[in-house]
Amino acid sequence: MNKLSCLAALFCVLLSGCQTTTNTTEQTNELVLNSASPQEINDALTLDLLADEQVVEETDEIPVFDDVWDRIRYQLSIKVPQNRPVVTERNYYARHQAYLDRISKRAEPYLYFIVEEVEKRQIPIEIALLPIVESAFDPYGYSHRSASGIWQFMPQTGKRFGLQQNWWYDGRRDISESTRAALDYLSYLHKTLDGDWLNAIAAYNSGEGRVMRAIKKNRAKHLPTDFWSLDLPKETTAYVPKLLALADLLKRHEEFGVTWNKIVNAQVIERVDAGSQIDLELAAEMAGISLAELYRLNPAFNRWASAPDGPHHLLLPLDSVERFEQRLANAQLKDRLRWKEYKVQSGDSLSVIASKHNTSIDAIKRLNTLDSTNIRVGQTLMVPLSDKAAAHLPDKLRLVLNDKTSVTRSHTVKSGDTLWDLSREYDVTVAQLKAWNNLKDSAVLRLGQKLKIRQTTTNNVVQNVNRTITYKVRKGDSLSRIASQFGLKVSDIRKWNKLDSKKYLQPGQKLKLIVDVKRG
């Protein structure tokens, strides 16, 4: 071994922090160091660092991703058979680029969160694509069988997995809660069905009882019990191939000439707990966002406030969280609900008053700390306000709430339009679209249908697209690479995160970035 090689070996030992060298080794090391020139020591260090760099390259299993679709693509693991059902579904999706574009737009606020949750469970990443099959990522998607939300939970199944459903709130439309429940259900099905993911996915669609009966039937006939061999409903036999077709199309997008529009691979929303019932318009003001945006991120709310008994959590844009929490901390509990004084009249009951003000008996009781429904004529009550009740408020307060300069325009329904998409396009709520056009909850839009859209001075203004996001550092990242990815300056990233220029980034470290989230 020449002197340079000895030096390299020595520095490997020293850098590894080894504490078990023998006296002979220590003496040899000392001799090598004492007889080495500065240039030889430098060469040995360089040699060792290069070797160390090579090890990092060989063991770095997870690349750095700028796009959530790339992150999913890299982890796809379920084998996709090129059989007729899969090929048929894949060809259909490949012919409908506009549909894939809508999917990316709808999934944009949620997909990073869903991928994070799937990865935590260490289950196939293909599961993150399931909301495409279920609802096309439409939180207000509603099936003829009463399934609802991006994961399309039936009422009873939702309750079984802890999703509350009441006058105020439908947990099936809650992005974070329904994702938790869906992954709980799929994990349960996987365990119940002997670790077969395709059968678990099929059971998510048709129920575990039906799949278990099909498996039992095949076993009795000594037939295979894999998904492709089971006798299942027509809908289910197409359901699994749809998921596999999407995974295949994502993996081989270049081969099929389709595009998956980029979704930035960084946290853009955060879940916060308001701690008690809160007026949603007030919450939006506290967060500094529009009421329409609040409802888009929190489609589970049926009314103008969160439920009295909770849950009280909200999904908010990351850059709104600090402002919201500061203002919430300064708001007294009684000020979290907008209210008006109401004097009880002859013939009134709590149910009559609640109906008159589009609220609930429970909300009135809570706001007035009533132990029973007994009230008396002349008694003054505080009644929570809804948008409808705002019309009867004094002028000054009505202006604060919702009397903004507005114009009414018309939208002609085109292929692929949903109320959810239109709410995003015009920065209004789904409830407003229904009210302006007298639409029932079960209404289906028709091609060519004319819809009234009320545009205010607030939602006519071009919104600033800069958002604060949280970026999680991965192996191989550097400040210059991150800055290049998001079109930022290294100096800005250092300033926003108070980074010491002498310290290196660590995998898992979280950085605050102020970026244009719509940047391609």
In the block, which residue shows the tokens 């040699």?
47
* CB-CB neighbours of 133 under 10 Å: 21
495, amino acid identity = K
CA 286-289-292 angle, 5° bins: 120
User: Residue 469 burial by CB count (10 A; 0-12/13-18/19+): exposed, middle or buried?
Assistant: buried
Tokens of 456: 């205010």
* CB-CB neighbours of 410 under 10 Å: 8
Q: Identify whether the C-beta of residue 131 lies closer than 8 Å to the C-beta of residue 145.
A: no
The phi, psi pair for 290, rounded to 5°, reads -75, 155
From residue 159, alpha-carbon distances to 193, 221, 280 in Å are 22, 36, 24
Is 254 one of the annotated active-site residues of the chain?
no
Nearest in space to 363 (alpha carbons), one of 391, 334, 390: 334
Q: Identify whether the C-beta of residue 320 lies closer than 8 Å to the C-beta of residue 288.
A: yes
Q: What is the DSSP string of 169-187?
A: BBGGG-HHHHHHHHHHHHH
Note the Cα 264 to chain centre separation in Å: 12
Nearest in space to 56 (alpha carbons), one of 502, 477, 480: 477
Report how far residue 425's alpha carbon sits from residue 408's, in angstroms, rounded to the nearest whole number: 15
Report how far residue 120's alpha carbon sits from residue 187's, in angstroms, rounded to the nearest whole number: 12
From residue 418, alpha-carbon distances to 101, 443, 444 in Å are 14, 10, 8
* Active-site residue (options: 89, 108, 134, 281): 134
List all residues 6 or more positions away from 319 whose beta carbon is below 8 Å from its beta carbon.
Answer: 467, 468, 514
Report how far residue 306's alpha carbon sits from residue 357's, in angstroms, rounded to the nearest whole number: 16
Report how far residue 121's alpha carbon sits from residue 128's, in angstroms, rounded to the nearest whole number: 12
CA-CA-CA-CA dihedral for 404, 168, 111, 198, to nearest 10: -150
In the block, which residue shows the tokens 């909300």?
363
Q: Identify whether the C-beta of residue 201 lies closer than 8 Å to the C-beta of residue 235.
A: no
Q: What is the DSSP string of 59-109?
A: H--S---SBHHHHHHHH--S-----HHHHHHHHHHHT-HHHHHHHHHHHTT
Tokens of 324: 């919201």
Report how far residue 427's alpha carbon sits from residue 271's, in angstroms, rounded to the nearest whole number: 21
Active site residues: 134
